[in-house]
Amino acid sequence: MNRLAQALALGSLILLNACGGGSEDAPPVVAVPLPPPPVQLALDAGNYQGAMRSALEWSDAAFSYAKLGADTADRLINTPLNLPPVFPCPISGSASISLSDRNRNRILNDGDTLSIFMDRCVSNTIVATGVVRVEVISAEPLGDGRTFQLLVHIVDLALGSGNPADAAPTINLAATLDFSYTTDFDHYVLTFGEYRRTLSGQEQSVSNLVIDYLQRYDTQSYDYLLQGTLGSVGNSGEFRVTTPLSFTGTIGAFPNAGRLGLSGAANSTARVSEEGAAAANSAAVLVSVDTNGDGVADSEVPEFAWTQLSQPGMFSSLRGRLKLGFLPIP
């Protein structure tokens, strides 16, 4: 039977069943139940500081992996890729690089997808297994720099120390990233970000992630905006994060202005803000929680140490945060 006859026969069967024909003894169609809605975290005095810490740490981790894709594209754009199908990693293990080369010029440019596959690839002291994939939607000159539109995927990337006693987390990321830079600035806008980190069966996740991060080197200043939904399998639920007022400050220092808001179950909210006494203390920030949405803080710390929420590296120079060391690229 040729393909046309097969298709017609299949179509006839579908129509017959759709119209109620066929055997009366055919089993009924069983609907697959929808998964239960995620449990929302009720923010309270006992958990809101941990939720704030998670919001900053997990989102920054997702940003770092998206930035890895941007750094890879920027390093290899307009570069001929004449590599063997499989090649050894610097210390041990193997890797391969494939190029979906739309215009067949053997050079990474607009419309191409670069994939890096690693199999226990040891570079420096890191053991990497998994896939880093970057699709270049567009890449154009911008002054003395460049502007990119990228799709970045990290697929089942396990990063370990090589010590069998140390469990390696597995990272998955899917994000759309607009990246532009010149001598004077770096600007990353991450949208539609989905990030998962799994370790020993426990999963951390960030969905619907948006990060807009601008650093200006001519003024040594930054502007950072964040929003997304965070959750953890096996924990008490998920919560929403927004930035009503961008965090701003001097590169290398904690913010001196801005506000981050969290919202959870039962109208509970929390905030991290540079206001009150904390506004005059570069090492501190106000944190508070409203457990029932009545507008009154049920717990508040006027000067909470920034180091309890985030590492200084989150606001350090983005040009000093390259994470290409474990990637076996030329």
- Give me the tens of pLDDT residue by residue for the chain, a chain 330 residues long: 444 344 333 333 333 333 444 445 555 666 666 555 668 899 999 999 999 999 999 999 999 999 999 999 998 898 887 777 788 888 899 999 888 888 888 888 899 999 999 999 988 778 899 999 999 999 999 999 999 999 999 999 998 876 766 778 899 999 999 999 999 999 999 998 899 999 887 888 999 999 999 999 999 999 999 999 998 755 568 999 999 999 999 999 999 999 999 999 999 999 999 999 999 998 999 999 999 999 999 999 999 999 999 987 899 999 887 666 667 776
Q: Would you state the pLDDT for residue 205? A: 92
Mean pLDDT score of the chain, rounded to an integer? 86
Q: Within a 10 A sphere around the Cβ of 144, how many other Cβ atoms?
A: 9
User: Rounded to whole angstroms, how far apart are CA atoms 179 and 29?
Assistant: 48
User: Rounded to whole angstroms, how far apart are CA atoms 51 and 206?
Assistant: 12
3-state secondary structure of 23: coil
User: Rounded to whole angstroms, how far apart are CA atoms 212 and 176?
Assistant: 12
3-state secondary structure of 298: coil
Q: Measured in Å, how far apart are the chain's first and last C-alpha atoms?
A: 51
Share of the chain above pLDDT 70, in %: 85
Question: Phi first, then psi: what are they for 247, rounded to 5°?
Answer: -80, 130
| 284: amino acid identity, one letter | A
Contacts of 31 (CB under 8 A, 6+ apart): none
Q: Would you state the pLDDT for residue 165? A: 65
Q: Would you state the pLDDT for residue 225? A: 97
User: Rounded to whole angstroms, how far apart are CA atoms 256 and 254?
Assistant: 7
Q: Would you state the pLDDT for residue 11? A: 38
**pLDDT tens column, 197-232:** 998 878 889 999 999 999 999 999 999 999 999 987
User: Rounded to whole angstroms, how far apart are CA atoms 264 and 235?
Assistant: 14
Contact of 146 with 180, CB cutoff 8 Å:
yes
pTM for the model stands at: 0.84
Quick one: 43 exposed, middle or buried, by C-beta within 10 A (0-12, 13-18, 19+)?
Answer: buried
- Beta strands at 239-250 and 221-232: parallel, antiparallel or unpaired: antiparallel
List Cα–Cα distances, 327 to 9, 21, 55, 314, in angstroms: 50, 58, 27, 22
User: Rounded to whole angstroms, how far apart are CA atoms 5 and 110?
Assistant: 41
Question: Phi first, then psi: what are they for 27, rounded to 5°?
Answer: -65, 145
3-state secondary structure of 140: strand
Helices (H), the chain: 3-18, 48-76
Q: Within a 10 A sphere around the Cβ of 115, how many other Cβ atoms?
A: 16
